[in-house]
Amino acid sequence: MTKKLLPTTIVGSYPKPKWLNKMIKDHKYGGVSDKVLEQSYTDSIKTVVKEQELAGIDILWDGEMRRDEMTSYFADHIDGFKIYGDVRVWGNNYYRKPAIVDKLKYRDELTIPEYKYLKTITSKGIKVPITGPYTIVDWSFNEFYSKKDEAIYELAEVINKELKALVRAGADYIQIDDPAIPTHPEELEIAKNSIEIATRGIKAYTGIHICYGDYSKIYPDILEFNTDQFDFEFANKNFCDVEVFKKYDYTKDIGFGCLDVHTRRVENVEEIKKNIRRAFEIVEPKKVYVDPDCGVKLLPSDIAFAKLKNMCLAADEVRDEIR
Amino acid sequence: MPHKYREKTIIPTIMGGYPRPPWFAEYLKKLEGSQKENLKEISEEIEQRAINDILDEQKKAGIELFADGQLTWQDFLCHLCTKIEGFKMTGLTRYFDNNAYYRVPVVASKLELKDNMISDEFELAYKTQPQTKAVLSCYSIAELSKNEFYNNKEEVVMDIASIINGEAKSLVKKGAKYIQLDEPSLLQADKNDLEIAKEAIKKIVRGVDAKFFLATYYGDASNIFPEILDFNVDVIGLDFVEGYEKNLELLKEYKTKKEIQAGIVDGRTTKMEKREDVKNKINNILDCCDADTFFLSPNTGLELLPYVKASEKLMNMCDCFRGEKYD
Ligand SMILES: [Zn+2]
């Protein structure tokens, strides 16, 4: 892993090339073979990895080209889940909401093939994002377990198995995506236990990504979680959460979301520099990772690129200035 | 033939929301895209087909009091705000504790009825199925939105109430006999809020010749008892999934002559309830009900279930009464 000050990274997702979406669709309706689709995946991964490198990202990921969504992708590969159909999130947006219908058991490798392939095409640092057991269960129907926490802990064991194998394959930076955590502050203990189980015996740097929540309801309690870093969104809420984290002694590293992924406006370098410096109100610079608020997949790819590029330029300048 | 059970007429119904038929979801996606703006005119013929599909699903399941399913609504109850002049729809936020979002309506100027709210879609459903319940809301949509214009909550609620009153009148003109007011936010109301809601309902029902339901869900009703029993409505809807024990106690403690609409199966999970459990629940609730008519429904709308599971849920609920039509 990079020892650089203020390393830049992405949360995980990157816009899929339009042609990849077309290939996925054509494949679904039988017009494209498995082999051609597979080639399309690797081609698009090369494309988005190159884009991240050109933007100047230090620690990157494959942009989640192979994942349709952050819950169902994993549910599709774990025994015990079944997907009955789409469920609405808002407006005309849906997700394939999984249902737990049987005991949850490890079946397929979840992130390892993605990681192994990525390692062959880049010499940059790699961060492997995986959705946390708490969030997957919270975003699924539960028909099997009598209590929610039983399902969460069982799934945490599945994730733990995956992470162990992932570290054996060489991964040194793992990010657990757990945006559901702040939606039920009353279940924070369960979430904490789930992380404990998922990361048990894992010798790698770990972070937990939490976006879209009321952080004041879970902070400072989350400092008890077994993780090296938390990755939060700040730009979307105009950095007002900085005050939340300043209130108590923040003891972890921080992934500092300094780009708003919900607007197509490209923040300029000066503005992002100012944003990055807000992180120093919480922790010293050596504990800061610079990244966007969340995955950038919903942005047009040229805008995603322009934003990330400015973010990296801003990080370069701040790095020089504080040295 | 209405079901008689323990000398009461039992009417299975739904709360209102129903998942879109998959083909209709695809149609809307293509028509409107996935952005927050540019809602387009939906073809009436296609909307009619979609509504007929879900009325048919309800009928097959055994439902006797139907709903149009709110198939074109994008913002849950706050859909109604898009039909009111003076509201501006803004950023997305979580809808109660669902993993689902709505655009927060902001009151930017005086509230006035823009066009018909739901009477067009009601009419489509009514043509096919005259036993259709129309669903509106007042207090909750005020609570779910942000007020940047009026001096206080009361003014917002009362102005929405007059608009809802107007809409209720047009619904009756189109044939509506049953109107439900969905008020999940009422469960968090304090005594002062309850007073406001009570006045608002008075205003809503004034001059409207229909049977009014007041539906609460996402929890128990301990905050609003016994005041709610004096509200000017005919039927009170209670959530007997998330608030079963508490609501049962409340009914025992405060006897009421009002009819009850009991939400007895969980509208938010694909897990199917055991019939024995549901039956026991119903018997316990009936022990505390005086009125001759009793409505059964899922505790919430079904809009957050996969399409195939919504009808299964309803069928499972109605099956509890198959073969038990008589005492
Ligand atoms: Zn995120």
pLDDT of B327 reads 38
CA–CA separation, B62 and B56 (whole Å): 10
The pLDDT tens digits of the residues spanning B211-242 come to 999 999 999 999 999 999 999 999 999 999 99
Q: Is the pLDDT of residue B253 over 80?
A: yes
How much is the pLDDT for A2?
A: 63
Closest CA to A174 of A193, A195, A155: A195
DSSP secondary structure letters along A125-189 = EE-EEEE-HHHHHHTSEESS-SSHHHHHHHHHHHHHHHHHHHHHTT--EEEEE-TTGGG-GGGHH
Give the separation between CA A282 and CA A207, rounded to whole angstroms: 17
Strands A93-106 and A78-90 come out as antiparallel
Q: How far apart are CA B57 and CA B312, in angstroms?
A: 9
Task: Determine which of B270, B277, B307 to mutate to test the interface with A (most A C-beta atoms within 10 Å).
Answer: B270
Mean pLDDT, rounded, of chain B: 94
Please tell me the predicted confidence (pLDDT) of residue A212: 80
Measured between beta carbons, which residues in chain A are less than 8 angstroms from residue B79? none
- With an 8 Å Cβ cutoff, is B94 touching chain A? yes
DSSP letter for A13, please. B
Among B278, B306, B298, B253, CA closest to B67: B298
CB neighbour list of residue A35: distance below 8 Å, 6 or more residues apart:
none
Pairing between strand B133-136 and A78-90? unpaired
Q: pLDDT digits over B135-163, tens only?
A: 999 999 999 999 999 999 999 999 999 99
**Does the global pTM surpass 0.90?**
yes
Cα separation, B82 vs B113, in Å, equals: 10
Phi, psi dihedrals of residue A126, rounded to the nearest 5°: -125, 135
**DSSP 8-state code for residue B21:** P
Instruction: Locate B137 and state its tokens.
Output: 């809301």
DSSP codes, B148-183: SSSSSHHHHHHHHHHHHHHHHHHHHHTT--EEEEE-
- Give the pLDDT band (50/70/90) at residue B39: low
CA of A205 to the centre of ligand 1 (A): 19
Q: For residue B320, give the 3-state DSSP assignment.
A: coil
Q: Token pair of B251, please? A: 């009914």
Among B94, B102, B269, select the one facing A142 at the smallest CB separation. B269
Please give the structure tokens belonging to residue A207: 């972070």
* Residue whose token pair is 């009914």: B251
Backbone φ, ψ for residue A279 (5° rounding): -60, -30
**A139 at the B interface (CB within 8 A)?**
yes
Q: How far apart are CA B131 and CA B111, in angstroms?
A: 31
The pLDDT tens digits of the residues spanning B266-310 come to 999 999 999 999 999 999 999 999 999 999 999 999 999 999 999
What is the spatial distance between Cα A272 and Cα A312, in angstroms, rounded to a whole number? Answer: 9
Residues 14-33 of B with CB under 8 A from A: 19-20, 22, 25, 28-29, 32-33
How are beta strands A173-177 and A141-142 bridged, if at all?
unpaired
pLDDT along chain A (323 residues), means of 10: 88 96 94 96 98 98 95 97 95 94 98 98 98 97 98 98 98 97 95 98 97 92 98 94 96 97 94 98 97 95 97 98 91
Instruction: Say if residue A129 is preceded by a cis peptide, omega within 30 of 0.
Output: no
Q: Which residues 6+ apart lie within 8 Å of A254 measured at CB? A: A229, A230, A231, A232, A245, A279, A282, A283, A287, A288, A289
A91, A97, A139 member nearest B34 (Cβ):
A91
What is the SS3 assignment for B105?
strand
CB contact under 8 A, B270 and A92: no
Which structure tokens are listed for A150? 């039983």
Tokens standing for residue A176: 């657990």
Cβ atoms of B313 and B298 within 8 Å: the answer is: yes
Q: Is B130 on the interface with A (CB under 8 A)?
A: no
How many CB atoms neighbour CB A47 within 10 A? Answer: 18
Q: Which B positions 240-279 lie with beta carbon below 8 A of chain A?
A: 269-272
Strand-pair partners of B104: none
Closest among A153, A177, A190, A299 to A233, alpha carbons compared? A177
CATH topology of domain A56-69+107-322: TIM Barrel (3.20.20)
Interface test with B, best of A81, A141, A145 (most B CBs within 10 A): A141
Q: Residue B19 and residue A87: Cβ atoms within 8 Å? A: yes
- Between the CA of B66 and the centroid of ligand 1 the distance, in Å, is 39
Alpha helices in chain A (DSSP H): 18-28, 34-55, 72-75, 112-121, 133-138, 148-168, 188-198, 241-246, 269-279, 301-322
B198: tokens are 């009570």
pLDDT on residue B181: 98
Do B270 and A99 make contact, defined as CB atoms within 8 angstroms?
yes
> Of the candidates A253, A193, A173, A214, which has an alpha carbon nearest to the alpha carbon of residue A12?
A173
Q: Is-contact A178 A187, C-beta < 8 A?
A: no
**Dist CA B203 CA B208 (whole Å):** 10
Measured at the CA of A281, the angle between CA A230 and CA A319, to 5 degrees, comes to: 85
Cβ–Cβ contact A91 with B under 8 A? yes
Band (pLDDT 50/70/90 cuts) for residue B320 is confident
Cα separations (Å) of B320 from A106, B54, B58, B61, B273? Answer: 37, 21, 15, 12, 10
Share of chain B above pLDDT 90, in %: 87
Q: Residue B324: pLDDT above 80? A: no
ipTM entry = 0.91
Per DSSP, B43 falls in state: P
Could you tell me the pLDDT band of residue B34, with boundaries at 50, 70 and 90?
A: low
What are the structural domains, with CATH classification, of chain B? 3-322 (3.20.20.210)
Angle at A280 between CA A279 and CA A281, to 5 degrees: 90
- Is the pLDDT at B165 greater than 80? The verdict is yes
- Condensed to tens digits (0 to 9), the pLDDT of residues B57-85 reads 999 999 999 999 999 999 999 999 999 99
Average pLDDT of the residues in B82-104: 91
Q: Kindly report the three-state secondary structure assignment for every residue of B210-246.
A: CEEEEECCCCCCHHHCCHHHHCCCCEEEEECCCCHHH
Task: State whether A87 and B29 contact (CB < 8 Å).
Answer: no
A94: nearest CB among B25, B32, B271: B25
The span from the CA of B144 to the CA of B137, in Å, is 11
Distance A139 CA to ligand 1 centre (A): 14
CA A210 to centroid of ligand 1, rounded, Å: 6
CB B272 within 8 A of CB B312: yes
Sequence ranges of the domains in chain A = 56-69+107-322
Read off the pLDDT of each residue in B186-194 and give the average, rounded to a whole number. Answer: 97
CA B318 – CA B60 distance, rounded (Å): 10
Residue type, B310: A
Whether the predicted pLDDT of B251 surpasses 80: yes
Partner-chain contact B101 A89, CB within 8 Å = yes
Spatial contact of B107 and B156, defined as CB atoms under 8 Å apart: yes
Q: What is the pLDDT at residue A213? A: 83
**Residue A218 CA: distances (Å) to CA of A70, A193, A245:** 22, 15, 11
CB–CB contact A183 B303 (8 Å): no
Q: How far apart are CA A88 and CA A307, in angstroms?
A: 30
